Structure 1
Amino acid sequence: MNMEPLETEEDFKNPTGPVVTEVADKERNLYRVYFPAAGYYHHPNIGLQFVVKRALTIEIEFCAWGKFWDRDVLEHGWMVAGPLFDIKAEQGAVAAVYLPHFVDLQELGFQHMKCLEDTIIQATTPRSLTSSLTGGHVDNSLFEVAHFKKKRMALEKPARVEQHYIVLENPSFSLMGVLLRMIPAAKCFIPITSTTLLYRPHHAKEVTIHLYLIPNDCTIRKAIDDEEEKFQFVRIHKPPPLDSLYLGSRYTVSGSEKLEITPKELELCYRSPGESQLFSEIYIGQVESDICLQLNQKISGSQVWEALLKPGDLRSAPRLDAPTPADTPALLHFVDDHREQLVARVTSVDPVLDKLHGAVLSEEEYETVRAEATNQDKMRKLFSLSRAWDKTGKDQLYRALKETHPHLIMDLWEEWSRDSRSWGS
């Protein structure tokens, strides 16, 4: 199966360093990681953590609750509280898995204790939520891990509930995710950790920003990233809200300049990754000065988030669909100009070859390049063949690299842009 680097910013890590995560099937959002030894591994961006007993390979697929929650989840009084993953691993090889959730347990415990505890005592059993919270964990009866097998849901009680994770020990894997018991009287009192996502166009003379407010769920983030990428928008990285927010609450969007904002309110709600996500479109136009964006709680007016956008944050990137810049000599193609970096940094050559096979590579050339021992040797061999190609052939190589290694190509464009500005100065 073709492999390429995972495009979710970071790899799994353990005390000895990063562990490369690979894309097994991009359309299915299926990833594969090989843990080389027993130990603890975590992914800062996804939130998953594993404690493994020996070396093994794990497959992780990002999934959408929307196929299941209407029938099995909401009907039975549960609230989605974290991402849904389909995890496959050798039985007995994993000592513990830490599944991320986005419920703010500290806020849940200390600001809404009375409301929740009274309701829990009436609805379930009279257990002390207070004592379990102050001990660093919460009442496990509030959380369950849902397993979906043959479209039927089974619930499993976690071994522990921690501030950001639900812990299963010696787990069996399936399509699985975290649920929180939904108490009707406390529906509007469930604090969650949330995040804001900002996107700008790759290239545009006049700038329009897309602003999202979502639960801190990596599967939703990735679905939005993928959707925005289709329209040539790139994410602007800014800090998320510091404090917990509440599902169902509404927030007004405003800015320091006279901006056109549609709509001017955002509701914080959970929408499955397969659904359209709510966002505000903010038209800025020509960027001449710093812009401050804010979110304020609609009822109280209190500010919950702020971001400062500088002209550099909004500067148009070079067009990725135009391999040769206008002021670059006609004989110097992008792939030739960046030959050294591409040889060193392309981490998976076979998917590139698959896209070129039959177009600019013959069957013999395709097999010759694949026969090389390392990715660097494959790229060198590919470049030796590309000397005979015209601009159309090199454009096809560029497009293949852009599709399989988009972040690398963007990095090279940004380096070229910085170098061009420094030469001009």
Structure 2
Amino acid sequence: MISTGGCGNVGRLDLPYKGLFLCSQTGIQFRVESSTTIEYQFAFWGDYLGGVPQISFYTTGPVFNINIKAGLVSEVYLPHYVCLGGGYVDIGKFRIAHYKDENLVLESPMRIEPFFAVMENPSFSPVGVVLLRTLPKVFQRNIPMHGAVVMYSRYVRGHTIHLYLMPHDPSIQHEGVTNKEIKNGFSLVDKSPGTRTVYSGRRYIVEGPDGAEIIPEDLKLRLDSRPELYSYSEVYLSEMKDRFFLGVICMNNKKSVWRAAIRKGSQHFVDKHRVSLIQRVSNIDPILDDLLALNILSQEQYDTVRTQRTAQERVRELYDCVRSWGREEKDHLTQKRTKMHCRKKHNKTHKTLRHLTLNAL
């Protein structure tokens, strides 16, 4: 069983019996010999590489903090994003990086599989997969990788899409990029991210529909331990068609590595009726309490909205948060507002009937 902590990056596996178990959210696998409880979370390579000359290796997968609460783990399968079928890769250059006693230690894995480096009878500290650099930079090959295209969108007088090309590493996406984009009012575009084999150091062209402004028009695929440095192409459309295509093409051979159809979704009720909702909602406090209880609003957002002087100002402040929400969160806001409206209407009808009854008496 997998449960996610409040910050979104803490996992817990409660494994009832021996076997091999996969966490679908992070890609890590554990082989256990008995009933076992494991807690784990993504860490940041940058936290451990400050004093290490990274010229000696590439980081090629997430780094994990793992804690065995009970039971025995005989093998751990650490995910990597090197594509073994994409060209010559010396699997003898793979290492497991451990951070022990404030020192980084490189150990050879028991074996390398297409998506995993396997450790046997592991001892746990922050761990991740790296690939040794053995040649001067001028002679180094481009590393074949499983890539991902991740997009975020926002509408403000036009549609803006931020398109990222990165290694298929969920820690980069979730911990490094998504948090930044959501803070800026963008929402994740739900499209399959997987690409054909891509190569480090190569440049890839971003293609869009006629009339789209794309800046920059190409991206360089990089391996970096600091996800905040990953760049993106900004695609701007003043008007959006019902459907259009975005694609990524290798500049070297002009072959497509990724393509997706983007369809215009219907505006959500809370977006379509923003002005009327601001004018009509007179008591927002019960809505705020409900959103806070469900962790849709953070305490900081809740406090910021509550400090506004008038009901209209509070609703406007709430809409600054709403812009980055998905449909599920907006649906909940709509349902809560509808229930309050129905309750208010019922109370008004009840008072009218009571008044008529008293007059009849």
TM-score by length of 2: 0.75
In 2, the alpha carbon distance for the partners of 1:278 and 1:45 equals: 24
Go from structure 1 to structure 2 and tell me whether the alpha carbon gap of 1:326 and 1:391 turns closer, same or farther (over 3 Å shift). Answer: closer
In 2, the alpha carbon distance for the partners of 1:42 and 1:73 equals: 33
Go from structure 1 to structure 2 and tell me whether the alpha carbon gap of 1:242 and 1:281 turns closer, same or farther (over 3 Å shift). Answer: closer
Q: Which has the larger radius of gyration?
A: 2
Structure 1 counterpart of 2:164, one-letter code? Y
In 1, the alpha carbon distance for the partners of 2:82 and 2:144 equals: 6
In 1, the alpha carbon distance for the partners of 2:292 and 2:131 equals: 45
2:133 to 166, 182, 196: 182
- Structure 1: 4+ residue segments shifted above 4 A: 315-320, 322-325, 327-331, 406-409, 414-418
SS in structure 1 of the partner of residue 182 of structure 2: helix
- Hey, what does 2:318 align to over in structure 1? none
* Residue 274 of structure 1, CA deviation: 5.0
* Residue 294 of structure 1, CA deviation: 1.6
1:39–1:53 Cα contact (<8 Å) kept: yes
1:219–1:273 Cα contact (<8 Å) kept: no
* Residue 182 of structure 1, CA deviation: 1.7
Q: How does 1:288-299 map to 2 (within 5 A)?
A: 288-299=241-252
In 2, the alpha carbon distance for the partners of 1:261 and 1:100 equals: 33
Consecutive unaligned residues in structure 1, runs of 5 or more: 1-18, 117-128, 130-138, 332-389, 419-425
In 2, the alpha carbon distance for the partners of 1:26 and 1:416 equals: 22
In 2, the alpha carbon distance for the partners of 1:328 and 1:412 equals: 21
Go from structure 1 to structure 2 and tell me whether the alpha carbon gap of 1:170 and 1:328 turns closer, same or farther (over 3 Å shift). Answer: farther
Go from structure 1 to structure 2 and tell me whether the alpha carbon gap of 1:146 and 1:94 turns closer, same or farther (over 3 Å shift). Answer: same
- Hey, what does 2:101 align to over in structure 1? 150
* Residue 62 of structure 1, CA deviation: 1.1
1:253–1:266 Cα contact (<8 Å) kept: yes
SS in structure 2 of the partner of residue 44 of structure 1: coil
Go from structure 1 to structure 2 and tell me whether the alpha carbon gap of 1:317 and 1:207 turns closer, same or farther (over 3 Å shift). Answer: farther
Give the % identical residues: 28
Q: Deviations over 1:344-365 (max 9, x none)?
A: xxxxxxxxxxxxxxxxxxxxxx
1:92–1:170 Cα contact (<8 Å) kept: no
In 2, the alpha carbon distance for the partners of 1:275 and 1:227 equals: 8
In 2, the alpha carbon distance for the partners of 1:273 and 1:52 equals: 32
- Hey, what does 1:60 align to over in structure 2? 40
Q: Deviations over 1:24-62 (max 9, x none)?
A: x628x4333322333222122311011122223212121
Structure 2 counterpart of 1:37, one-letter code? Y
SS in structure 1 of the partner of residue 181 of structure 2: helix
1:293–1:306 Cα contact (<8 Å) kept: yes
In 2, the alpha carbon distance for the partners of 1:270 and 1:176 equals: 18
Counterpart check, 1:26 vs 2:7? yes
1:323–1:395 Cα contact (<8 Å) kept: no
2:287 to 370, 391, 394: 394
In 1, the alpha carbon distance for the partners of 2:2 and 2:325 equals: 15
In 1, the alpha carbon distance for the partners of 2:29 and 2:140 equals: 29
SS in structure 2 of the partner of residue 225 of structure 1: helix
- Hey, what does 1:277 align to over in structure 2? 230
In 1, the alpha carbon distance for the partners of 2:27 and 2:276 equals: 39
* Residue 204 of structure 1, CA deviation: 4.0
SS in structure 2 of the partner of residue 72 of structure 1: coil
* Residue 152 of structure 1, CA deviation: 0.6
Structure 1 counterpart of 2:166, one-letter code? I
1:22–1:32 Cα contact (<8 Å) kept: yes
- Hey, what does 2:191 align to over in structure 1? 238
In 1, the alpha carbon distance for the partners of 2:49 and 2:17 equals: 37
Go from structure 1 to structure 2 and tell me whether the alpha carbon gap of 1:172 and 1:328 turns closer, same or farther (over 3 Å shift). Answer: farther
Cα root mean square deviation, aligned: 3.3
Go from structure 1 to structure 2 and tell me whether the alpha carbon gap of 1:306 and 1:269 turns closer, same or farther (over 3 Å shift). Answer: same
In 2, the alpha carbon distance for the partners of 1:31 and 1:73 equals: 31
Q: Deviations over 1:250-302 (max 9, x none)?
A: 11112122111111111101233453321011101221332111212223322
In 2, the alpha carbon distance for the partners of 1:184 and 1:318 equals: 58
2:59–2:225 Cα contact (<8 Å) kept: no
2:163 to 211, 230, 235: 211
2:142–2:201 Cα contact (<8 Å) kept: no
- Hey, what does 1:377 align to over in structure 2? none
